[in-house]
Amino acid sequence: MNKLQGIAGDVGRWAAGMRRGAWWADLASPIPRAIGFYARTWVDWVRLRDQGSEMPRVRPHPVVLGEAAVDELLLAIFKLGRPPRHDDAYWRIVEEAADTVTVFERRGFGEDPASYWQAPPPLLEPVSRRRRFGPFLYEHLSWDSRFEPLPEVPGRERWLGYEANRTAHAWVLRHDEPRPWLVCLPGTGMGFPRADFAVFDPERLHRRLGLNVAIPVAPLHGPRRRHTFYGLGFPTDDLVDTVHGATQATWDVRRLLTWIRSQGGGPVGVTGISLGGYLTALLANLDDDLACVIAGVPPVDFAALFEAHTPAAVRDTPLWRALNTVSHNLFRVVSPLALDPVAPYERRYIYAGLVDRLIHPRRQALLLWDHWGRPQIGWYPGCHMGFMWSRPVETFVQRALADSGLVEEDRIGAPAA
């Protein structure tokens, strides 16, 4: 134990040193990393030119270099936003994760992950306040989340101590007459109207396509955050907090869905990007009455994701290897791959970026595609955030909404009302 605690201290001091004395390395790394990726696209293009693949190959082009650089810069900003941990914090994370796995095994969640997910009570009367963002009037809904981790699960009191996180929030745009609903789940670092409306364009979804739109705020994001820097509290290297965050996020959205259905208006679909794509994939396992589930650039394996973005110097330690092993067992309970989807096959949709440097498409989106029985998938030749300016993604999503009955055919491509 003392040896592992010593290793944990080494890792903690390494991380703190990176932040104090070599923070510039994170900001300088995007360009060489992007150039390295671009060089590999040329190698793959030449070697695999005549070979088939489950996903399209990236065609080398200077734009690819720029797209990769955007992702690498975004990743560097995320890393700088993580506060350094003290030595004992790393040991606490290891012990909590192992203890949580023990609790999950004792409760039978490892063999039967479906038993982990409890149906939340319906949401009856959220508080509604009228707000304006640019030309759009929207409702700011808020309600008591009422989520609590299981009594015997480690980290429960810490999680409940995040006071602002106990209140759930959502931005809602709806028409005067009944219309279909689209629930849009934002990504990491979002949870503010400015960011959420930039990604889930109300001019297109609400006005042109005629949908009622609801955008819930994820735990520890936006007004629920506990850090001042963009609310990057979930997902995090604090593994048990990540499990609590995934569980509460799904709980809150399912409660919001009960309220939406009580308002009437026809079918309800869910779409999400990045972290929201992950939550969309989880909901596909839990709600069989969704008109569609559209998972955008989704991570589905947090353990692999953390490993991909952990420096090699840290991965080559006994502590990391132990942490990596326990994280695979821990995250299984909240993995979209642990359950069979209940959303019908023809209502499942995925899109992903071929140049995504944050969430590797082959190690993440392709796993979900296989698990879902290989439904419709849209590939775009861009980076993680490239879906925002990708016309193929816009066409793919609109086609999914029309095929699912949320949008009338004559509204696709129509000007704003």
The predicted model scores a pTM of 0.86
Q: What is the pLDDT along the chain (417 residues), one digit of tens a residue?
A: 343 344 334 334 434 444 443 444 555 566 666 666 656 675 666 666 544 467 787 777 666 666 766 767 777 666 665 655 655 677 788 899 999 999 999 999 988 999 999 999 999 999 999 999 988 899 999 999 999 999 999 999 999 999 999 999 999 999 999 999 999 999 998 999 999 999 999 999 999 999 999 999 999 999 998 764 444 678 888 899 999 999 999 999 999 999 999 998 789 999 999 999 999 999 999 999 999 999 999 999 988 888 776 766 666 776 667 777 888 889 999 999 999 999 999 999 999 999 888 888 988 999 999 999 999 999 998 888 889 989 999 999 999 999 999 998 888 865 444
Which domains, from first to last, does the chain contain? 2-81 (no CATH), 89-411 (3.40.50.1820)
In this predicted structure, what is the pLDDT of residue 323? Answer: 76
In this predicted structure, what is the pLDDT of residue 20? Answer: 41
In this predicted structure, what is the pLDDT of residue 281? Answer: 98
In this predicted structure, what is the pLDDT of residue 85? Answer: 61
For the chain, give the longest Cα–Cα distance.
68
